[in-house]
């Protein structure tokens, strides 16, 4: 066998002294051959990104390589000079990142950003460089390459920006491409296209790819071989089909079992919940308009003609890609923003245009859990203070509010003693449990979960979803579940509304929508979901 493009042997990378473990990466060895895609899979904190950055020589000084070798086509990069590393970047190894929205310099034209690579590493004349850039942009299938060269990143969509990043990383034809969660921030349909593009370019050029991801769906789509990382250690490695269908290590088995299935389970209605309608909307609409001084107003329909209905003990999922209007609907229902038309009936009362004073009485009935548990709790307040603030605003005595918060902590499976601690002392999953407790402290009728599990690792996600299920059963809560993740929606929703461009294109029982989608957009969405052909959790 020919020399591997990347060969990592016994790599150890230290963590700063006060961390929860001594090493970010502990003795990891693997290799990537030319023309091969190796996926590094693991949950957050597993050290997968640290390995990627160490190969590029982009690790901060606080994470030093202690021992081991990283060989790029036989050349050891550990201990290589900053100058040599700079020479190798983009010429022999290129990298693309997770966030295409922020990975490009916002004040520089896309063409210039690619041009920088050529100017830094070649002596080519300006005209030749421009030709090369346009050819490369055409290769990543961007429309109108000549115009793309002169456009700024903010004029492009997330998928287009990621294509520019790929063009930048591959313009000099490196033998190794490191892709750090390149599709995580993208919509499923865009993700499918980008994965296809990476596959295509990699095949044509024989590039070795080190692909970092947490998503087993993506692994199933793209990987030749898979390496599973846990706490900085490589626990299992092998060909993709073997790892996915016959995982050996218990951690790998647990991870794969946590991936929600695309097939909705049978969901009997919650016993004793009755069928009272908690919330319904009639032709709900939200239009944003920016008025110019001399006319020329711009109107955007964020949501149009949305009519949905949620009963006690029922979960309605709103599924859609970014910009589909699903969050707008959630925010209108919670009256965080004012709808521009239609009705919102909360327990029979229309709150769509209710003035703030009267609305206050009803506010506690609708509570939201947001996507990012790291930013939705006040960092300078103890968790207990955050939980009791709401009920105390509604007149509950401090003592009683504290009593309630202790009970809720038990309900969300956290130690009531932890009420005195601050948010940064908890993990992401724990924080999301706290956010749920905070919402429940208001004793709501309707709980809105706005991408509430999207930022969590699969194993944690599975736990939080289980918790939400339990709560729905014990409290007969109506839940509005906003998500872009079809697998999650399939598991937790009784009914599903699929939104696209502000309109509900399909609405019905989850089982029916998933089994036989009627609308072409729904079908496209389902087809784009990674790892479709692979049934993970045999539920």
Partner 1 sequence: MWNYIGRRILATLPVLLIVAVLVFLMLRLTPGDPAAVIAGDAATSQDVAEIRAKLGLDRPVVTQFFIWIGRGLQGDFGESFFYKKTVASLIADRIEPTLALATLTIILATLIAVPLGTLAAYRQGSWIDRIVMGISVIGFSVPVFVIGYVLIYVFALQLGWFPVQGYQRLADGFGGFLHRLILPSITLAMVYVALLARMTRTSVLEVLNEDYVRTARAKGLPNLKVLVFHALRNAAVPIVTVIGIGIAVLIGGVVVTESVYNIPGLGRLTVDAVLARDYPTVQAVILLFSFAYVVINLAIDLMYTVLDPRIRY
Q: For binding to partner 1 (CB under 8 A), which residues are involved?
A: 56, 58, 85-91, 94-95, 97, 99, 102-108, 116-117, 120-121, 152, 154, 165, 168-169, 292-294
Residue 369 and residue 441: Cα distance in Å, rounded? 12
* Residue placing its CB nearer to partner 1 in the complex, 116 or 403: 116
Rg (CA), the chain: 25
258 — phi, psi (to 5°)? -80, -15
Quick one: 117 or 237, whose CB is closer to partner 1?
A: 117
Token pair, residue 431, equals 């924080």
- The CB-of-104 to partner 1 minimum distance in angstroms stands at 6
Smallest separation, CB 169 to partner 1 (Å): 8
H-only helix segments in 175-282:
188-205, 216-222, 240-245, 250-258
Q: How far apart are CA 40 and CA 180, in angstroms?
A: 9
Q: What 8-state DSSP symbol labels residue 89?
A: B
CB of 328 to partner 1, least distance (A): 23
Least distance to partner 1, CB of residue 341, Å? 29
In angstroms, the CA 48 to CA 212 distance is: 7
Q: Which is nearer to partner 1, 125 or 294 (CB)?
A: 294
Closer residue to partner 1 (CB): 170 or 352: 170
Tell me the pairing of strands 6-14 and 65-72. Answer: antiparallel
Beta strands in 23-128 (DSSP E): 23-32, 37-41, 65-72, 75-76, 93-96
Compare residues 92 and 130 and give the one whose CB is closer to partner 1.
92
Q: Which is nearer to partner 1, 91 or 242 (CB)?
A: 91
CB of 272 or CB of 292, closer to partner 1: 292
Q: Which helix (H) or strand (E) holds 278?
A: strand 277-290
What are the CA-CA distances from residue 16 to residues 49, 234, 367 (Å)? 16, 21, 39
User: In the complex with partner 1, which residue's Cβ is closer, 11 or 177?
Assistant: 177
Minimum Å gap between C-beta 56 and partner 1 is: 6
CA distance 393 to 360: 10
Taking the alpha carbons of 361, 365, 370, 374 in that order, is the dihedral positive or negative?
positive
Residues near 337 by beta carbon (within 8 Å), at least 6 away in sequence: 286, 328, 331
Q: CB of residue 292 vs partner 1: minimum separation in angstroms? A: 7
Nearer to partner 1, 58 or 135 (CB): 58
- Cβ-based nearer residue to partner 1, 59 or 525: 59
Q: How far is the CB of 17 from partner 1 (least distance, A)?
A: 17
> Which residues, other chains included, contact 86 with Cβ-Cβ below 8 Å and sequence gap of 6+?
none
Please name the residues in contact with 150: beta carbons below 8 A apart, sequence gap of 6 or more. 109, 110, 111
- Give the nearest distance from C-beta 24 to partner 1 in angstroms: 17
- Minimum Å gap between C-beta 59 and partner 1 is 11
Tell me the CB-side half-sphere exposure of residue 184, using CA atoms within 13 A: 20
Phi, psi at residue 157, to the nearest 5°?
-80, 170
CB of 312 to partner 1, least distance (A): 45
E strand or H helix at 233: strand 233-239
HSE (side-chain half, CA atoms, 13 Å) at 139 = 22
12-20: long-range contacts (C-beta < 8 A, 24 or more apart)? 12/65, 12/66, 12/67, 12/68, 13/47, 13/50, 13/51, 13/54, 13/59, 13/63, 13/64, 13/65, 13/66, 13/232, 14/63, 14/64, 14/66, 15/63, 16/62, 16/63
Nearer to partner 1, 17 or 399 (CB): 17
Tokens 């729905």 -> residue: 472
Please report how close the Cβ of residue 65 comes to partner 1 at its closest, in angstroms: 17
CB of 473 to partner 1, least distance (A): 42
Nearer to partner 1, 55 or 243 (CB): 55
257, with CB counted inside 10 A (0-12, 13-18, 19+), is middle
> In whole angstroms, how close is the CB of 53 to partner 1 at the nearest point?
9
Which one, 112 or 301, has the nearer CB to partner 1?
Answer: 112
């Amino acid at each position: 066998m020919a020399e591997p493009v990347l060969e990592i042997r016994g790599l150890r990378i230290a963590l700063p002294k006060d961390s929860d473990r001594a090493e970010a990466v502990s003795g990891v060895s693997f290799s990537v051959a030319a023309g091969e895609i190796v996926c590094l899979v693991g949950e957050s904190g597993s050290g997968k990104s640290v390995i990627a950055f160490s190969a590029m020589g982009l690790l901060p000084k606080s994470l030093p390589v202690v021992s081991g070798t990283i060989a790029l086509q036989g050349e050891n990069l550990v201990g290589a000079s900053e100058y040599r590393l700079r020479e190798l970047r983009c010429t022999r190894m290129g990298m693309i990142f997770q966030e295409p929205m922020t990975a490009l310099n916002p004040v520089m034209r896309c063409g210039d950003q690619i041009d920088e690579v050529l100017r830094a590493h070649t002596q080519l004349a300006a005209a030749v460089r421009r030709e090369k850039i346009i050819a490369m942009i055409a290769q990543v299938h961007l429309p109108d390459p000549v115009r793309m060269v002169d456009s700024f990143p903010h004029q492009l969509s997330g998928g287009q920006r990621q294509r520019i990043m790929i063009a930048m990383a591959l313009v000099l034809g490196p033998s190794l491409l490191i892709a750090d969660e390149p599709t995580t921030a993208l919509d499923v349909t865009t993700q499918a296209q980008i994965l296809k593009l990476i596959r295509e370019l990699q095949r044509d050029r024989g590039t070795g790819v080190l692909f970092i991801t947490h998503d087993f769906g993506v692994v199933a789509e793209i990987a030749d071989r898979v390496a599973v990382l846990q706490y900085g250690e490589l626990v299992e490695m092998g060909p993709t089909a073997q790892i996915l269908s016959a995982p050996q290590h218990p951690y790998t088995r647990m991870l794969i079992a946590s991936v929600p299935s695309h097939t909705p389970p049978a969901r009997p209605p919650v016993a004793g919940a009755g069928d009272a309608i908690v919330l319904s909307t009639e032709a709900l609409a939200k239009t944003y308009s920016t008025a110019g001084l001399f006319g020329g107003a711009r109107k955007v329909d964020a949501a149009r003609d949305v009519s949905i209905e949620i009963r006690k003990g029922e979960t309605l999922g709103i599924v859609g890609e970014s910009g589909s209007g699903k969050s707008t609907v959630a925010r209108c229902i919670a009256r965080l923003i004012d709808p521009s038309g239609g009705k919102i009936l909360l327990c029979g009362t229309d709150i769509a245009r209710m003035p703030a004073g009267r609305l206050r009485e009803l506010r506690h009935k609708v509570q939201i859990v947001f996507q990012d548990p790291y930013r939705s709790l006040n960092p300078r307040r103890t968790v207990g203070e955050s939980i009791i603030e709401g009920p105390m605003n509604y007149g509950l005595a401090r003592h009683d509010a504290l009593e309630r918060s202790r009970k809720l902590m038990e309900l969300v499976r956290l130690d009531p003693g932890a009420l005195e601690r601050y948010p940064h002392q908890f993990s992401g999953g724990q924080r999301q449990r706290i956010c749920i407790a905070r919402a429940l402290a208001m004793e709501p009728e309707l709980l809105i979960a706005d991408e509430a599990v999207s930022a969590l690792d699969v194993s944690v996600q599975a736990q939080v979803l289980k918790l939400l299920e339990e709560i729905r059963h014990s409290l007969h809560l109506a839940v509005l579940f906003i998500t872009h993740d079809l697998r999650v929606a399939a598991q937790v929703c009784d009914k599903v509304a699929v939104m696209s461009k502000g309109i509900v294109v399909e609405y019905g029982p989850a089982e029916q929508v998933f089994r036989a989608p009627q609308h072409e957009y729904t079908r496209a969405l389902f087809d784009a979901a990674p790892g479709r052909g692979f049934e993970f959790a045999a539920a």
